[in-house]
Amino acid sequence: MTENAGIRHGSVPGSRGRTDIADVVVEKIAGMAARDVRGVYALGSGFARSMGSMRERMPGAGAGKSVTRGVSVEVGEVQAAIDLEIVVYYGTSITDVAGAVRESVISAVERLVGREVVEVNIMVSDVKLPEEEDDEEEGQRVQ
């Protein structure tokens, strides 16, 4: 009989090495999770949205809305803290929307990133009124 001459490792392959996750990854996940909540019109302040809208129209600036606008994170080895600035639709309960955003963001970040979310601070910076034009329509003189 022959002996097993293969190399045996005492640990599973997933524990050999380190995985670093950039802050922008957590920002994008948190931003997407917040935008998916019913009652959220946008993330970021009115000024940030206006500047972002202008930036997106510039050639070479990339297409689509910035997922990280209005999102700020601090990510450690095992924990994360998240700050969000949101705009809600008029007529929705701000406390209900904020609670749903908090729950959605915590769930997404903990599931996808594997970091314990210690806090999600939400700043409601504006309310989208029904008669207000959308950001995409602002500045257009001709259709």
Tens-place pLDDT, residues 72-118? 999 999 999 999 999 999 999 999 999 999 999 999 999 999 999 99
Whether residue 26 is contained in a domain is answered as: no
Q: Please indicate, yes or no, if residue 141 is contained in any of the structural domains.
A: no
Concatenate the DSSP letters of all residues of 111-125 into one string.
HHH--EEEEEEEEEE
In-domain check, residue 55: no
Expressed as residue numbers, the domain containing 93 is 65-128
Determine, yes or no, domain membership for 72.
yes
The model scores a pTM over 0.85: no
Distance in angstroms (rounded) separating the CA atoms of residues 114 and 18: 13
**Which range is least confidently modeled, 44-48, 57-61, 103-107, 110-114?**
57-61
Residue 44: inside a domain: no
